[in-house]
Homo-oligomer: A and B are copies of this chain.
Amino acid sequence: MRGDYLQRLRAELEEKERVREELILKSRELRLNSSKAIANIHAGRFEKSGEFLKKAEELLDDVLSYRDRYPELFYLAHDAVQEFVEAYAFRHIVERLELPEDLPVDIPQSVLPGLADCVGEMRRYALTLMVRGEEFDRVERIIQLMEEIYFTLIEFDFHDKLTSNLRPKLDMARNAIERTKSDYLTARVSRAVE
């Protein structure tokens, strides 16, 4: 076969191999900053959480730029973008007790499972409030928003490949809602008797 044809194939593979490693690395950074943003909200360090989220947003722009240039490799970043969605939505919800109107990302494979996972973080957050015996209205509102996310997501009934295994995540979300309601029952008793 002609050397230049083979050379073209090889060049494409070499570039992809390079981009692949690059994107894996950047995605890892994005994922780390996103999950630290979440962890710091749980640890009550809201400001520090904001710093990590800001770093994550910068990385997001970089990562998203691969979407146009190397769309066939972008699946490597789906998990990290999903973690960013989870962090972004979680912070928004804790800050304003509202779901975000929209998100800085519109990739269904990352947005939908990211929101589903967010329900689990909301459970942890509500639990911490309940253990402290604080802010019952807040807890009630959180539960409401958990259900709102759940009812929004179950409407997205597409082929699993297109929504990155949304279904099992929705089962976990539903489970988290049930357990939070169950804890809320107890917490209300607690408030009444103490």
Chain A residues packing against B (C-beta within 8 Å): 1-2, 5-6, 8-10, 12-14, 16-17, 20, 32, 35, 39, 43, 71-72, 74-75, 99-103, 106, 108, 111-112, 123-124, 127-128, 130-131, 143, 151-152, 154-159, 161-163, 174, 178-179, 181-190, 192-194
Tell whether, in the assembled complex, residue A20 and residue B159 are in contact, meaning their CB atoms are under 8 Å apart.
yes
Instruction: Point out which of A8, A178, A179 has the most chain B C-beta atoms below 10 A from its C-beta.
Output: A178
Tell whether, in the assembled complex, residue B101 and residue A181 are in contact, meaning their CB atoms are under 8 Å apart.
no
List 4 extra interface pairs beyond A1-B99, A20-B162, A72-B74, CB under 8 A: A13-B156, A131-B184, A182-B186, A189-B194
Tell whether, in the assembled complex, residue B190 and residue A159 are in contact, meaning their CB atoms are under 8 Å apart.
no
* CB closest chain-B residue, reference A187: B185
Instruction: Provide the residues of chain B in CB contact with A193, threshold 8 Å.
Output: 189, 192-193
**Complex copy number for this chain:** 8
Asked whether A131 and B2 contact (CB < 8 A) given A39-B154, A178-B124, the answer is: no
Chain B nearest CB from A68 CB (Å) reads 9
Tell whether, in the assembled complex, residue B182 and residue A185 are in contact, meaning their CB atoms are under 8 Å apart.
no
* CB closest chain-B residue, reference A151: B43
Tell whether, in the assembled complex, residue A108 and residue B189 are in contact, meaning their CB atoms are under 8 Å apart.
no
* CB closest chain-B residue, reference A6: B152
* CB closest chain-B residue, reference A74: B72
* CB closest chain-B residue, reference A140: B131
Instruction: Provide the residues of chain B in CB contact with A131, threshold 8 Å.
Output: 143, 181, 184-185
Asked whether A9 and B123 contact (CB < 8 A) given A131-B181, A192-B190, the answer is: no
Question: CB < 8 Å: which of B5, B39, B143, B178 contacts A106?
Answer: B5
Instruction: Provide the residues of chain B in CB contact with A155, threshold 8 Å.
Output: 10
Give me the 8 closest cross-chain CB pairs, A-B, nearest first: A5-B102, A71-B71, A192-B193, A2-B101, A185-B186, A131-B181, A189-B190, A9-B108
